[in-house]
Structure 1
Amino acid sequence: MDNISKKYIIKIPSKVSVFYCDKRQIILIKGNLGQKLLKLKTKLLVSKQDNLIAITNQSFGIMSNKYKKKIKSIQGTTAVLIKKAFFEVTTKFYKKLKIIGVGYRAFPIVLNDLNFMHFKLGYSHDIYFKIPKNVSVVDYKSTKIFISGTSYNLVSQTAALIRSYKIPEPYKGKGIRYENEKINLKEGKKI
């Protein structure tokens, strides 16, 4: 690990277990909230005494000249993915949404072990949203939505999809917005 740059050496957190298989080119990261499996493109050095993982610049197979030029970016990407996996198996992520507007509401529905959200957003029709399995969506007072899960991408994507059903309009600010989002309201026409 002496000849590897510091930015490619990652410290393993105390509550995380790491299993590395050189033959299958995978790393399994287990934490108290779940596990993540990553497919690797470069070899790793795992030190159990120091609790460190080092990303080397050696490929699993024969490297072409084009691949050799990209090896630094692949090393950096692998380091970021491993750090992100450590974070996802130990912490929960959440997003809060507010529904603003007269008559705009959201209601949870459960049908045959499937969870749905029923939205009334001022359209001539109601909107039904199927909640993904790894995400929990809680509704408070039918105008506040709390989305939580262990995958940052899935939680953010779910929140963005729900928000896209009624993006806040610029005159009165009615719609679905993130909790801390500020809308710059435009002035209406003056007579």
Structure 2
Amino acid sequence: MSRIGKRPVELPKGVTAEIKGQTIEVKGPKGTRSFTATDDVDLVLEEGAVSVKPRGLSKRARQQWGMTRSMVANLTQGVSEGFKKELEIQGVGYRAQMQGKTLKLSLGYSHEVNFETPEGVTITAPKQTEVIVEGIDQQLVGQVAANIREWRQPEPYKGKGIRYKGEFILRKEGKKK
């Protein structure tokens, strides 16, 4: 039995769900998202909550049960609250600023890095050393944050680079004489 799959997904105030076959569409104050489940599970809408039930006891049905429930929970959280990833920039001369829909990063290269904001995501730079990525699609928000971080990953000797807020970088000792 899936411990995650057993729990129904409660729909917060202002969020509605509509099930058509294997597709669930969730509408909320931040937008609309949909997800198509596999044929191994059933989606049931009852009393302001969405339940996921497996069709049979095969291994694949049990796997899809918990995964589908997590996807539906992420849809409801995305359209009601949204998702957010915060990045910190550390290093002398390293900074970020927004110019229109372009994030300009100075990361110690001979040129500035221009990162275009993809559709469905909002990028803000409240400080020169802070970047916030927000949106209603958890996968897209995480991927955009990872793409920004990829430009200059934190190095273990001085800790310079772009890191997630609260991320711990294991530091190494430098060369000794």
- TM-score, with structure 1 as normaliser: 0.77
Q: Distance in 2 between matches of 1:183 and 1:54?
A: 40
Deviations 1:73-111 (A, max 9, x none): 23332222212211211112222222111221222222x
Q: 1:52 to 1:146 in 2, by over 3 A?
A: closer
| 2:118 pairs with 1:119 | no
- 2:60 paired residue among 55, 62, 70: 70
| 2:106 pairs with 1:106 | no
Q: 1:127 to 1:187 in 2, by over 3 A?
A: same
Q: What letter matches 1:53 in structure 2?
A: V
Q: What letter matches 1:136 in structure 2?
A: T
Q: Distance in 2 between matches of 1:177 and 1:69?
A: 38
The answer as to whether partners of 2:52 and 2:68 remain within 8 angstroms in 1 is yes
The answer as to whether partners of 1:9 and 1:52 remain within 8 angstroms in 2 is no
Could you tell me the percent identity over the aligned residues?
Answer: 34
Q: 1:77 to 1:133 in 2, by over 3 A?
A: same
Helix, strand or coil at the partner of 1:140: coil
Residue 165 of structure 1 deviates from its aligned partner by 0.6
- 2:155 paired residue among 169, 172, 175: 169
Q: Distance in 1 between matches of 2:18 and 2:34?
A: 9
Q: Distance in 1 between matches of 2:58 and 2:166?
A: 45
Q: What letter matches 1:172 in structure 2?
A: K
Q: Distance in 1 between matches of 2:44 and 2:97?
A: 50
Q: 1:85 to 1:105 in 2, by over 3 A?
A: same
Q: Distance in 1 between matches of 2:7 and 2:173?
A: 54
Q: 1:178 to 1:172 in 2, by over 3 A?
A: same
1:48-59 to structure 2, matched below 5 A, reads 50-58=47-55
The answer as to whether partners of 2:5 and 2:52 remain within 8 angstroms in 1 is no
Q: Distance in 2 between matches of 1:13 and 1:76?
A: 18
Q: 1:53 to 1:108 in 2, by over 3 A?
A: closer
Residue 71 of structure 1 deviates from its aligned partner by 2.3
- 2:31 paired residue among 34, 39, 60: 34
The answer as to whether partners of 1:26 and 1:39 remain within 8 angstroms in 2 is yes
CA RMSD of aligned residues (A): 2.5
- TM-score, with structure 2 as normaliser: 0.82
The answer as to whether partners of 1:93 and 1:150 remain within 8 angstroms in 2 is yes
Structure 2: gaps spanning 5 or more residues: none
Q: 1:118 to 1:20 in 2, by over 3 A?
A: same
How many residues align? The count is: 172
Helix, strand or coil at the partner of 2:80: coil
- 2:169 paired residue among 171, 183, 188: 183
The answer as to whether partners of 1:9 and 1:53 remain within 8 angstroms in 2 is no
For the pair shown, the structure with the greater C-alpha radius of gyration is 1
